[in-house]
Amino acid sequence: MSKNMQTSLHINIHYTISHDVVLQDYATLAPGVHFSGHVHLGKIVYVGTGAVFINGSGEKPIMTGYDAAIVAGDCVTDSIPPNETWGVPAKPLK
């Protein structure tokens, strides 16, 4: 990484990050977020308090797109497109 490049993650308390999880720049994890495995968080993603990501797979990881938001208490079992906010249960909010 270049000396001029900066990256930033904001990770709060009481979280679990399991195997094969990728967190890109400027992601925010609120308290109590849990990743079971094979999850890729895009840039500028916000994950609310107590959200849980259930296992993706090596062939099909759970992906969150650029600037997506997952609200508190979500149980995420599928990929989330860029620029969307998903509610409880994890689905696009209208």
| Candidate list 10, 19, 34, 40, residue with the active-site label | 19
Active site residue 19: yes
Q: Count the Cβ atoms, other than its own, within 10 Å of residue 13.
A: 9
How buried is 34 (Cβ within 10 angstroms: 0-12 exposed, 13-18 middle, 19+ buried)? middle
- Which sequence positions are flagged as catalytic? 19
